[in-house]
Amino acid sequence: MLLAGGCLYGVRMPEKTLAQRDLEVVWHPCTQMQDHETLPLIAIRRGQGVWLEDYDGKRYIDAISSWWVNLFGHANPRINAAIASQAQELEHVILAGFTHEPVIALSERLVRMTPAGLSRCFYADSGSAAVEIALKMSFHYWQNRGCKSKVQFLSLTNSYHGETLGALSVGDVALYKETYEPLLLKCRTVTSPDCYQREPGATWEEHSVRVFAHMEQMLEQYHESTCAVIVEPLVQCAGHMRMYHPVYLKLLRRACDKYDVHLIADEIAVGFGRTGSMFACEQAGISPDFLCLGKGLTGGYLPLSVCLTTDDVYAAFYADYVALKAFLHSHSFTGNPLSCAAALATLDIFEQDRVIEQNKRLSAHMAHTCKRFKDHPHIGEVRQTGMILALEMVAARTPRAHFAWQERRGLQVYRYGLANGALLRPLGDVVYFMPPYVITPEEIDVLADIAWEGINKATS
């Protein structure tokens, strides 16, 4: 056995790199580990704003916010200070029977800022766990109310809600799901309003309205056995950044009311300004029965998620203990004070810097600088919702033909990006930008240039 950088029996051993040490002991998420036989693993020494820096001093623009979590840059001084200060007071305490100021203050603010009617916050530590809570609470609500037949969920094709078994069950990305099918809950899938699929000439709105007919029909047919519909409002992020019009959410809210079915809005990826408004549901003027938040909740600093719900749902669980109606769900780190402090600092930045206003300029700049892709022979669509812009690589434009997935064109863009100073991590053949909000217009231009060259290389 080699000792890292040490002397073994007087023979000087070469020092192992961090990448070598890593590959002996770490198993990475969402990765075929064999890829790292040829794809270098990059060890990051520090982050600053939108920049990540590796141990050779090479810098990368974090164009995907480190998997959609980071909002105000790495090593943000205000969030750093809030966590450091909280750590001096209280790092963690059980949230059953005990409470603390950060979790109370955060809940007050979330209730105030989220769509009307959401009045209770239940915390967890990952997005998937927040989705599990929404599913269990909805099911349990109907049980407590005596509607014993409501035991299933409706979700959209191409949707993604996380990787734990319940969350995976209501998702529809085959790559993540197919293998585990025998383990999953039985769910019904409804056609996604994904506007990439619209007829030539149709607007997003027309397409979203037309596709809603399928949801209406499924609700009519199955409402008696359905607890809830779960959707990602406006953008199906993991499902290749496919987008749709807010009118779909409006129609869905109306139909859920009509058929006595809950609406779960999974804003884990799209919440906190990604779609241009603080929450995507605002653009449809609707309130869901459950709102799941995660990722950007702490500015991308610490694992924290929350499922907000209504007085009506809360009341269905509120009873004498012996009635056995309580929601007895828990996670060890529920409402962790350090995470809550990071979240409070994040919300302060939103207010103090008028971020949603400022982002309008950034998203307009993204649109402007990416105009050039519209005529690219291998870009089938340039689509954007707020601070998310996606470029769909295609083999041919008319009629649209996709590359064989085995060719892994997106991976070529990824490699090109790394070699040239950008962390772009395409979803299949979809290259996208979902940067921290502290990115500058000049940095957006740099990203667009790198994407342009990378796409040219990958498609030639």
Binding site for ligand PLP (CB under 6 A): 126-128, 131, 160-162, 232, 237-238, 266, 268-269, 294
Q: Pick the closer one to ligand PLP by CB: 237 or 261.
A: 237
343 in Cβ contact with 298 (< 8 Å): yes
CB of 433 to ligand PLP, least distance (A): 16
CB of 237 to ligand PLP, least distance (A): 5
Q: Pick the closer one to ligand PLP by CB: 241 or 393.
A: 241
Q: Pick the closer one to ligand PLP by CB: 127 or 454.
A: 127
CB of 159 to ligand PLP, least distance (A): 8
Residue facing ligand PLP at closest CB distance: 127
Q: Pick the closer one to ligand PLP by CB: 115 or 303.
A: 303
Q: Pick the closer one to ligand PLP by CB: 336 or 369.
A: 336
CB of 305 to ligand PLP, least distance (A): 6
Q: Pick the closer one to ligand PLP by CB: 161 or 253.
A: 161
Q: Pick the closer one to ligand PLP by CB: 232 or 443.
A: 232
132 in Cβ contact with 166 (< 8 Å): yes
Of the candidates 346, 353, 376, 369, the one whose C-alpha atom is nearest the C-alpha of residue 433 is 369
Measure the CA–CA gap between 71 and 296, rounded to whole angstroms.
6
426 in Cβ contact with 237 (< 8 Å): no
The runs of H, that is alpha helices, within 14-158 are 18-25, 65-68, 77-89, 101-113, 127-144
Measure the CA–CA gap between 341 and 320, rounded to whole angstroms.
34
CB of 7 to ligand PLP, least distance (A): 43
Phi-psi region of 69 (alpha: psi -120 to 50; beta: other; left: phi over 0): alpha
Count CA atoms within 13 Å of residue 67 on its CB side.
9
CB of 101 to ligand PLP, least distance (A): 25
CB of 129 to ligand PLP, least distance (A): 7
Instruction: Evaluate the omega torsion of the peptide bond into residue 246 and state whether it is cis, within 30 degrees of 0.
Output: no
Q: In the block, which residue shows the tokens 């820096």?
A: 53
Distances (CA, A) of 97 to 100, 318, 434, 448: 11, 16, 39, 51
SS3 label, residue 375: helix
